[in-house]
Amino acid sequence: MRLIRVKDYAAMSDEAFAIVYERMSANPKLTLGLATGSTPVGLYERLVSAVQTGKLSFREARSFNLDEYVGLAPDHPQSYAYFMREHLFDHIDLPAGRWDIPSGIAPDLDEECARYEAAIEAAGGIDLQILGIGPNGHIGFNEPGTPLESRTHVVELTESTRRANARFFERPEEVPTHAITMGLGTILRAREIILLASGESKAEAMAKLLSLSDFDPELPASALHRHPEVWVIADEAALSRVRR
């Protein structure tokens, strides 16, 4: 695990973009694992700019998203499918058939999880996975107690995760109670991983993560200690409780 300490959110986004740009330039057929939420938006803005100025192309790339809310259709403004179109897919040249997001309205959710896992496998696996970290240390929607070997599955969201996501909904009761997420085992099969962290709200989780040297089920992000190629890019606020 290699830590890159940066000043702020903009610098974090710059560092992440530099890695993604280098990997995609070297391999235009890269398969990306993508995250949602406010953390990767700066990275996506930089990728959009690179495509629109002709410096980068996604025409041969593929992508798989980490997760999706159960019960939200792809055109729902708070669905992650909608988020990805708004912030990335509608502004780059990634063909529609080359990105995949779990369906939160599939009639059989277990079958959808199996389909998604098989699709990742059929694509040859994920080359570069982008992650954020939740205040309780979750990655994707893998909450504390998630088994290390877990694959794509349906999870009941904890109250703390629902509170953290309530700002995106008009009323707290509208926040979904379940989601489909790549499992920890799925994430760890990526060839390379970038974990992004910005802001004081991530400080406690980051302090716990960097104090550990192996997997602790109570901090799902600590699974990354089991992976040989992880970049952690975090700003001063997110690292404010970590000793230098």
| Tokens read off for 241 | 């409780």
Query: Of 87, 138, 142, 235, which residue is the catalytic one?
Result: 138
* Residue 149 annotated among the catalytic residues of the structure: no
| First-residue to last-residue Cα distance in the chain | 15
* Residue 136 annotated among the catalytic residues of the structure: yes
* Residue 138 annotated among the catalytic residues of the structure: yes
Query: Could you give the angle at the alpha carbon of 122 between the alpha carbons of 221 and 128, nearest 5°?
Result: 35
Query: Of 65, 136, 142, 165, which residue is the catalytic one?
Result: 136
Query: Of 67, 68, 117, 127, which residue is the catalytic one?
Result: 67
Q: In what order do the strands lie in the sheet with 178-181?
A: 67-69, 178-181, 153-156
Cβ burial of 89 (10 Å; 0-12, 13-18, 19+) is buried
The single-letter DSSP state of residue 76 is: S
Rounded CA-CA distance 45/56 in Å is 13
Query: Of 68, 143, 165, 235, which residue is the catalytic one?
Result: 143
Rounded CA-CA distance 149/16 in Å is 27
State how far the alpha carbon of 111 is from the alpha carbons of 115, 172, 182, 185, in Å. Answer: 6, 29, 14, 18
Contact 160, 135 (CB under 8 A): yes
Catalytic machinery residues:
67, 136, 138, 143
